[in-house]
């Protein structure tokens, strides 16, 4: 609760617990409280720990559950390899 998040009248599944801009209800799609094969962790902004948050991975088409997928993320590769 740092005051920067948008107020959410229905709370619960519309909250963004980990602050990665994906709502809890989008990350835990079936709302069972566990991270299933196609879901990302609503409590961890970077589910696979590759340094790119789940929102960025989904937006760029890489796999938010596969730490190796960051290597295929052209958006970030381009940023660091422009010389
Ligand atoms: Ca989230
Ligand atoms: Ca789930
Ligand atoms: Ca990631
Ligand atoms: Ca990844």
Ligand closest to Cα of 47 equals 3
> Does the pTM exceed 0.75?
no
Q: What is the pLDDT of residues 21-67, one digit of tens each?
A: 999 999 999 999 999 999 999 999 999 999 999 999 999 999 999 99
Between the CA of 59 and the centroid of ligand 4 the distance, in Å, is 11
Between the CA of 78 and the centroid of ligand 1 the distance, in Å, is 26
**Residues whose CB falls within 8 Å of the CB of residue 41, separated by 6 or more in sequence, listed in order:** 18, 27, 35, 47, 54
Between the CA of 10 and the centroid of ligand 3 the distance, in Å, is 28
Q: Label residue 10 by pLDDT band (50, 70, 90).
A: low
The larger pLDDT score, comparing residue 73 to residue 66, is at 66
Question: Would you say residue 4 has pLDDT above 80?
Answer: no
Q: Please provide residue 72's backbone torsions phi and psi, each rounded to the nearest 5 degrees.
A: -100, 5
Mean pLDDT of 66-70: 87
């Amino acid at each position: 609760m740092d005051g920067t998040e948008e107020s959410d009248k229905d709370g619960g599944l519309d909250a963004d617990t980990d602050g990665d801009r994906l709502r809890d209800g989008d990350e835990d799609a079936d709302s069972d409280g566990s991270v299933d094969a196609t879901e990302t962790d609503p409590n961890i902004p970077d589910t696979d720990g590759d340094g790119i948050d789940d929102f960025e991975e989904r937006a760029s088409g890489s796999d938010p559950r596969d730490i190796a997928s960051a290597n295929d993320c052209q958006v970030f590769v381009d940023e660091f390899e422009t010389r």
